[in-house]
């Protein structure tokens, strides 16, 4: 099992995204063990199972390993995961909105940006990232090998947290 953590995992998935930014999905759900979060990140070149210690902190601990595709890993809804160009003036416009007419125009502009093609972000560009789809726990939708991988990732995350935080039980 090829398990990556943190920055190495992020780089690996981003490199794959940069090769082909079309057809990605990012699904997150509460884990069934230890109170972690599970994620399935899927793209044209493969699928990764992730174990995340928390979605409530800016730099969570993340472990991941490649796995076979999952039925829930397909893009959900009209917006596949990815980066989309977002005009900086749209953000300013959203923050300044006053009145219903202006707000409707801003919402339409924002939806138009979300419907645009996913792209590879460039330095100094302005982008929206997502969507991250939050769902109910995935355990019932996993194959036997994915359940085994999920158990290994949960055990490894638990071990990592005990090493980093000795008070962690």
pLDDT in tens, the chain (169 residues): 689 999 999 999 999 999 999 999 999 999 887 789 999 999 998 999 999 999 999 999 999 999 987 545 454 457 889 999 988 887 777 667 665 556 677 777 778 877 889 999 999 999 989 888 888 886 567 788 888 999 999 999 999 999 988 887 6
What predicted TM-score, i.e. pTM, was given to this entire model?
0.82
Contact 39, 55 (CB under 8 A): no
For the chain, the maximum distance between any two Cα atoms, rounded to a whole number of angstroms, is 55
pLDDT at 75: 47
pLDDT at 153: 93
Long-range contacts formed by 74-78: CB under 8 A, 24+ apart? 74/25, 74/42, 75/23, 75/24, 75/25, 76/25, 76/27, 76/133, 77/131, 77/133, 78/115
pLDDT at 70: 59
């Amino acid at each position: 099992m090829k398990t990556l953590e943190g920055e190495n995992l992020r780089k690996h998935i981003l490199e794959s995204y940069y090769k082909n930014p079309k057809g990605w999905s990012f699904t997150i759900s509460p884990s069934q063990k230890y109170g972690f979060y599970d994620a399935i990140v899927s793209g044209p070149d493969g699928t990764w199972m992730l174990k995340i210690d928390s979605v409530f902190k800016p730099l969570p601990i993340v472990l991941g390993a490649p796995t076979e595709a999952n039925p829930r890993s397909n893009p959900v809804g009209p917006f596949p995961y990815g980066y989309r160009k977002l005009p900086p003036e749209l953000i300013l416009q959203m923050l300044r909105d006053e009145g219903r007419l202006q707000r409707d125009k801003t919402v339409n502009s924002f939806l138009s940006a979300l419907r645009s093609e996913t792209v590879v972000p460039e330095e100094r560009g302005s982008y929206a990232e997502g969507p991250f789809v939050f769902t109910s726990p995935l355990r019932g939708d996993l194959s036997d090998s994915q359940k085994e991988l999920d158990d290994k990732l949960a055990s490894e995350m638990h071990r990592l947290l005990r090493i980093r935080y000795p008070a962690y039980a």
